Amino acid sequence: MLLSPFLLSLVAPILTHLRNFLLFVLAAGPIPAHVAFVMDGNRRYARSHHKVIQQGHGEGFVALRGILEVCLRLGIRCVSAYAFSIENFKREKKEVDALMELAEEKLEELCKHGDLLDEYGVRLNVIGKRELLPESVQRAVDKAETMTRHNDHAILNLCMPYTSRDEIATAMQSAVHEAIRSSSENNCSPTLTEHDINSHLMISRAGSPPLDILVRTSGVKRLSDFMLWQVSFCF
């Protein structure tokens, strides 16, 4: 049953107060430090609601904002979101171009004075092979990171364009180079530990605490090359 605008105006404040009360109750218990989200299902949502794919991605961003605000109100220190896979560049050019335009637009929107990141003191990190992004999006990324660099209450990692295999391979290369350099300077055999690799991961270097929970919003049960190293330590 659809509610009239008048009834909606009466119900909305009640629902807001109820949500705030539930968040207050949840915040009284153990709170994870780092929660990651695979924000997928945008295309399936668009098709099932007879909308164009671009609208599905746009509404996916609205959902991300809502989830991020809930996490920040609960006091979660770090949120990571899988925004765009390196593999997504293989999709139709029209869809990729629309996603890049949306990313540029929303990055600028997120960093406006008084908007969500500014309100909650969130530092934004864009994690991945940024050189693959269009120049205009790279400029928006640099601007957004610079504008939020002073924020120190929470962290938002937008992983784009990202795959965990690329992150691990890049970390291995950096860790090996550092081990070789260190052994040369100290005249000893090079060694490589789990800690060395972990410290060179892009998400670790962004100042993120260890991952506690990974959520896939669509309910699909696969990791899709997201934070494979980090999630293996969650259990």
Active-site option among 40, 97, 152, 212 = 40
DSSP conformation letters of 102-142: HHHHHHHHHTSTTSHHHHHTEEEEEES-GGGS-HHHHHHHH
CA atoms in the 13 A half-sphere facing the CB of 189: 2
φ, ψ dihedrals at 35, nearest 5°: -120, 135
Q: Write the burial class of residue 163 (CB in 10 Å: 0-12 exposed, 13-18 middle, 19+ buried).
A: buried
Among 101, 31, 109, 26, smallest CA distance to 64 is for 109
**What SS3 state is found at 91?**
coil
Q: In terms of C-beta distances under 8 Å and separation of at least 24 residues, what long-range contacts does 145-148 make, across chains too?
A: 147/111, 148/111, 148/117, 148/118, 148/122, 148/123, 148/124
Q: How many CB atoms lie within 10 A of CB 167?
A: 25
Let me know if 40 is a catalytic residue.
yes
φ/ψ (deg, to 5) at 110: -60, -30
202: its two tokens: 């892009």
Task: Please identify every residue annotated as catalytic.
Answer: 40
